[in-house]
Structure 1
Amino acid sequence: MIEGPSSVTDDDLIVEMKQERTSAVAISRVRLALRAIAVPSLLPSSIYENHEEKRVTIATKTMLFNTDPLVGYATVSGIPFILHEKSPYQVDFDYKLLTTKSKFMDAMAYAGKVVAKNHAISDKDYDTAIVAVSVDKEVTDMTSGDRAAFKDEIVNFAVDYATQVEYDYTSFVNAYNQGVPLY
């Protein structure tokens, strides 16, 4: 907690520190011989100087409009952390409210719009040194052409991702059952 300029609590800030780990995309390329689910050249480790916390900070700033000005990173005792302001009024999403397929599909439609918007602004308009292309133009060009090939690519990605999720879950359960510390 950071004390604001006055003694009232309304101008105080809460800064959350979250430990960062290696990108799940990078790990999955190493662990399984699946097709690459990301193009490594789009964010080479040299851009973020091999600091996982800097990678997440850059990605956050590129994907969010009006990013929290306190988004940053720090290394404490060799452990990488990302920092950001946390609202004391923020509440977590209650997944228990998704009691029907219709409610689930509505929630996924909203989530899809958010992801699409964030990806659309994550391009050369932010920083050409990080992403040198206009992502929205690339997506438009790709989907306006061979839609069957695009659909196949999405299906292949989903299948590969599902395989990875199943592998990760099995690994988690096995580690848990063997008493391996998970954190």
Structure 2
Amino acid sequence: MTDRGDRIVSVLEEAFAGLMAADPAAFRHKFRKMAAEPFTFYRGSACLFYADMAELPDEWIDERTSRIWIQGDLHAQNFGTYMDSEGTLVFDVNDFDEAYLGAFTWDLRRFAASMALLGWRKALPDSAITELIRTYVAAYVAQVRTFVEHPDDELFSLRLDSTEGALHRVLQRARLATRIGLLDDKTTIVDYERRFRRDREGTHELSSDVLESVARAFASYLDTIPTGKRASSRTYAVKDVVGRSGFGIGSAGLHAYNILVEGRSQALENDVVLSMKQANIAAPSRIVADTRIREYFTDHGHRTAVSQRALQAHADPWLGHTEIDGVGYVVAELSPYEADLDWSDLTEPADMLPVLGYLGRATAKMHCVADSDSSQTLVDFQCEEAIAGVIGDREEAFTDAIVEFALDYARQTREDHRLFVDAFRDGRIKGVGSTA
């Protein structure tokens, strides 16, 4: 195996050794998905991306712009809709499992490289991919500068009344969803009470010991809901709990539970499904040495919840965190109003360009909302001013740097994918064979 192949195996083993040992079957499934094609490999190997970022010079970061709250795994499929705490449907970043503090360019680089991979998968020429990425970066920079001039960044969002085209259609699709539809899919009525369906793939019963642990963790979680977002105690009455597995390429080997609670009234249609999911180690945290950041979080469940609140102006009112046996978990609602952007419907660059403009603006909003105006205390400066300051009048050079990185790293990822497949097939990844 080549030196690069050895590096890929080493990084994956270092990142996932404990989880692979605990659940090799889950990682065999994850690696099988990653083997399918380069984009999926890229999605599942954020740890490799950050190992590379640790060695890559970056002229666009300084003391402040290296300490921006970032999404951490920003790729083309990590955007979608959610219902914010004020009841507004918003299109935004929708995954915070890898969120941390780091260089703002890491998010831009990771997203741009994902677009280069997505464009390659669609057989687009480099010239078209370059135009897509330039559109994204231009929209990002323009929105950052808008926030400098008009600091009310928490008021900006992509909504039904501020979008057109593909994004607007995603929001419309989410609007058609109903809570009762989600409940009918995941639950059933037994003796006039709602219970989880036990016949759903990935759902399993829990032992009495695990149920007791989850109950204690749920009680602790309630204390982490911000005072202004807490409802009456009846709202949080637990009605049923099941274990969950088989979700998400980035969640292999992690424990998760679905919890059915009463909701705002005793009417069965108002029941709410919560997810209590074991938090993973954020990939960027592996290369950020700042002890101020590391010591700010009690565990990765705390880190995930705090990060989401920082990066979203009006986060899920159910969002909180807890721990089981010293391991952090994040708790959030399983919302019926989540819909993802389907890139398979976007085949021509002309259709994709407006979307890239929206995503650039959404990325800027995410970076700029989590600063001294938000409730967290790690970022004590105005992010938009810091980012605009390092870019200055060199927007063209900044854009060129992101484009060049994206095209180069996409080529590297395609080769990395081949090396990964060979290593996996040959049994070179310790603890996870390619067959059972």
TM-score by length of 2: 0.34
Supply the distance in 2 between the matched residues of 1:12 and 1:64 (Cα, whole angstroms).
Answer: 25
Given candidates 348, 369, 392, the residue that maps to 1:121 is 369
**1:107 equivalenced with 2:366 (yes/no):** no
- Equivalent residue number for residue 141 of structure 1: 389
- Equivalent residue number for residue 18 of structure 1: 277
Structure 1 letter corresponding to 2:282: S
Pick closer, same or farther for the CA change 1:45–1:5 going to 2, 3 Å: same
Return the offset for 1:114.
1.3
Given candidates 241, 248, 262, the residue that maps to 1:3 is 262
Which structure has the greater CA radius of gyration? 2
2:310, 2:376 within 8 Å by CA — same for their partners in 1?
no
**1:47 equivalenced with 2:296 (yes/no):** yes
2:305, 2:320 within 8 Å by CA — same for their partners in 1?
yes
Supply the distance in 2 between the matched residues of 1:64 and 1:131 (Cα, whole angstroms).
Answer: 15
1:1-183 → structure 2 map (5 Å cutoff): 1-27=260-286, 29=287, 40-41=289-290, 44-49=293-298, 51-127=299-375, 129-147=377-395, 150-151=398-399, 154=402, 158=406, 162=410, 169=417, 173=421, 176-177=424-425, 178=427, 180=432
* Aligned length, in residue pairs: 171
Supply the distance in 2 between the matched residues of 1:157 and 1:5 (Cα, whole angstroms).
Answer: 49
| 1:118-144 residue CA offsets vs partner (Å, 9 max, x unmatched) | 111111111462101110111222222
Same amino acid, percent of matched pairs: 27
Between 10-19 and 130-139, the greater mean CA deviation after superposition: 10-19
- C-alpha RMSD of the superposition: 3.4
Structure 2 letter corresponding to 1:16: S
Q: Which has the higher contact order (CA 8 A, sep 6+)?
A: 2
Supply the distance in 2 between the matched residues of 1:172 and 1:80 (Cα, whole angstroms).
Answer: 30
Between 173-182 and 57-66, the greater mean CA deviation after superposition: 173-182
Supply the distance in 1 between the matched residues of 2:289 and 2:296 (Cα, whole angstroms).
Answer: 11
Return the offset for 1:82.
1.5
1:42, 1:130 within 8 Å by CA — same for their partners in 2?
no
Supply the distance in 1 between the matched residues of 2:417 and 2:291 (Cα, whole angstroms).
Answer: 28
Structure 1 letter corresponding to 2:284: V
Pick closer, same or farther for the CA change 1:157–1:81 going to 2, 3 Å: farther
Structure 1 letter corresponding to 2:323: T
- Equivalent residue number for residue 13 of structure 2: none
- Equivalent residue number for residue 34 of structure 1: none
Any stretches of 5+ residues in structure 2 without a counterpart?
A: 1-259
Moved over 6 A (4+): none
1:20, 1:80 within 8 Å by CA — same for their partners in 2?
yes
Structure 2 letter corresponding to 1:138: A
Secondary structure at the residue paired with 2:294? Answer: coil
Structure 2 letter corresponding to 1:44: I
Structure 1 letter corresponding to 2:271: D
Supply the distance in 2 between the matched residues of 1:104 and 1:5 (Cα, whole angstroms).
Answer: 41
Secondary structure at the residue paired with 1:14? Answer: strand
Pick closer, same or farther for the CA change 1:144–1:165 going to 2, 3 Å: same
Supply the distance in 2 between the matched residues of 1:2 and 1:14 (Cα, whole angstroms).
Answer: 6
Secondary structure at the residue paired with 2:366? Answer: helix
Return the offset for 1:158.
4.4
| 1:162-183 residue CA offsets vs partner (Å, 9 max, x unmatched) | 588568746753564338179x
TM-score by length of 1: 0.72
Structure 1 letter corresponding to 2:293: P
1:43, 1:131 within 8 Å by CA — same for their partners in 2?
no
Structure 2 letter corresponding to 1:45: R
Report the structure, 1 or 2, having the larger strand content: 2
Secondary structure at the residue paired with 2:322? Answer: strand
Supply the distance in 2 between the matched residues of 1:65 and 1:119 (Cα, whole angstroms).
Answer: 11
Structure 1 letter corresponding to 2:280: R
